[in-house]
Chain A
């Protein structure tokens, strides 16, 4: 019991300090609010928030402290982008620390408990805070321009979603728990070092907060698209990025509620077991609820970037996307099929024969829309007259190549026989790091570089440093993920602080790759810092805010 008293004291103290800081900031802002309020009343506005949003509507925004105060869509987008990059560096540092601790088959400078905390946090931060956060950021930033919103009235709701997401992320970071990102009971219910860690209940609250934030944000995005877009933007003229964000929002709204309920039951089980361990039902019930969200979330982290690739490619090939129709149907089919493959995470868990038959077949089918999408990219490049190999384009092409490699080793695991050999090994780690580093991270950086003149208020990045950033990231991730795939095919287990000595070469390969990626990110920070110190020299326009021209499918638009 005294443990809980100590916990309450510590977190109560943190909350008190937090409250004082918040009050100071509030005091500062209320002065500023008075000024805005005066300006607003001069222009005949009742609400100063609405005045600010109308003034800023679809105008380019730059990064500054004001983005955390103003609730217009673009400011919220920039908030997400800036915060998610911060979490990318925190999660990346955790990843590198784990790599460094694996230089020897036995424990080195990390205890196994510290290793388990790092692996849990690396996963949670990279998925929820980096991949999904940066996707929502680009969505909020680019959507108002792509669908030409005529009003911006949902700032309060969007802002609430953002702050819940951010606070949830920090709670997870503070909780220092070690249940991996999937919180399987009974392990996650062990509130000690053996299992989930002393403050595991706190990280459940954190993830719950993140999920509710994501739900609010997704619903708001759909409301903006449905009610706030300009009447001149018809459904068949939506940019492919708009479609991808719509599909992402739908996926979050469909998949998150079961897990929100599941985490609620798990939280109750901490104090008074009813649902997962005390019942005569299997402990796998939670695993089923988890993967119903856990698998779609990896598509949530991919589909928006597929949309961004569709926007970036035509900018540097000087043409149109090969086929708009197959772009939309590919992404839409991906949305539907990716909701029915989650069972493949539990092939060997004893759920049986029929389960494996169904989910291995659907796992083969989910590749069809991905293949259509990749074909569309390659055909766009193939039919281009001239391809300009700018830094964003390099990131995008590398992303497509990495997605093909990661996708092929991914679809191999749909086969039950292959899956039985590689499930739970580094093969899986290699598979999704190819995709997350190639598509999610690479395309995020591509879009960030393209937005840079706007969000920095007319500055340009150093092309040479950006190239170095690209080459280090691409080569490092290739070495790292390939080592994992080869080691994993031999059965090198994931999430272990130590390993059989004969796996050493594969671990060393991935450590080398990991550090090359890490060095690449230093070039990125250096580039941003150095560019920010220079004075603005160019126009603050960017190419991403104009949707790429689309080929209207014949027959569309009739009957409107």
Chain B
């Protein structure tokens, strides 16, 4: 293979890689810009008309506060086909201090850190009723693995 052909082959490969990667990056960019509320943020306002669930993480339980001021621990319930906003924070519990946690609901593609001193918000919309597992995926101490449970999506 002569030098010129080698250079050309390499150029084609780099162009192909650039097309694939820049295409993916552009698609990703467009997706984030179209859904800014899917990115957890400490500063963005809660969308109007959203069903707000306050998520409070301690070492090592999750508790949830609903708009009607009721609470639940370890599991939570949200209505289907509704815009849900989670507002997550972390506080010192009965036996620990406020550390960083991370709530992941894999089937909803929702993940939000519970950071002491921050009120992170993220918005999603469940479209099917059912029971979905969630878990803490940011290491938070001795019983980190016990911070898991189920989110129930019920019809309105």
Chain A residues at the B interface, C-beta cutoff of 8 Å: 112-113, 116, 178, 180, 184, 186-187, 190, 193-195, 277, 280, 282-284, 287, 322-323, 326, 347-353, 356-357, 360-361, 364-365, 367-368, 371-372, 375, 379, 383, 411, 414-417, 420-421, 423-425, 490-491, 493-500, 551, 554
Is B139 in contact with A180, judged by CB distance below 8 angstroms? yes
Q: Which 10 pairs of residues, A with B, have the shortest CB-CB distance?
A: A491-B106, A424-B137, A496-B145, A350-B120, A364-B25, A352-B41, A349-B113, A187-B99, A498-B145, A350-B42
The answer to the question of B98 belonging to the interface, with a C-beta cut-off of 8 Å to chain A, is: yes
What size tier do the contact residues of chain B reach? Answer: 35 or more
- Which of B31-39, B45-53, B76-84 is near enough to bind chain A? B31-39
Is A116 in contact with B21, judged by CB distance below 8 angstroms? no
Among A283, A425, A490, the one with the most B-chain Cβ atoms within 10 Å of its Cβ is A283
Is B21 in contact with A365, judged by CB distance below 8 angstroms? yes
Is B145 in contact with A112, judged by CB distance below 8 angstroms? yes
Instruction: Closest A residue to B43 by CB, please name it.
Output: A352
| Residue-wise interface mask of B (50-62) relative to A, using a CB-CB cutoff of 8 A (1 in contact, 0 not) | 0000000001000
Instruction: Closest A residue to B143 by CB, please name it.
Output: A112
Candidates A350, A415, A420; contact of B115 at CB < 8 Å: A350
Candidates A194, A284, A350, A351; contact of B95 at CB < 8 Å: A194
Give min CB distance, A482 to chain B, whole Å.
Answer: 18
Q: How far is the CA of A490 from the CA of B110 in the complex (A)?
A: 13
Is B28 in contact with A360, judged by CB distance below 8 angstroms? yes
Is A417 in contact with B36, judged by CB distance below 8 angstroms? no
The answer to the question of B154 belonging to the interface, with a C-beta cut-off of 8 Å to chain A, is: no
Give min CB distance, B13 to chain A, whole Å.
Answer: 5
Q: How far is the CA of A500 from the CA of B95 in the complex (A)?
A: 24
A-B pair count, CB < 8 Å, reads 203
Interface majority SS (helix, strand, loop, mixed), chain A: loop
Interface majority SS (helix, strand, loop, mixed), chain B: mixed
* 14 A–B pairs (Cβ distance < 8 Å), ordered by A: A113-B142, A195-B97, A323-B10, A352-B44, A356-B32, A364-B21, A364-B22, A379-B6, A417-B109, A421-B111, A495-B144, A496-B144, A498-B146, A551-B3
Chain B residues at the A interface, C-beta cutoff of 8 Å: 1, 3, 6-7, 9-10, 13-14, 17-18, 21-22, 24-25, 27-29, 31-33, 36, 38-44, 59, 95-100, 102, 104, 106-107, 109-113, 115-118, 120, 122, 133, 135-146, 148
Is A348 in contact with B40, judged by CB distance below 8 angstroms? yes
Known: A372-B17, A425-B106. 14 other contacts (CB 8 A): A190-B99, A194-B142, A348-B111, A349-B115, A353-B32, A364-B24, A414-B25, A415-B28, A416-B39, A417-B38, A421-B104, A490-B106, A493-B135, A498-B146
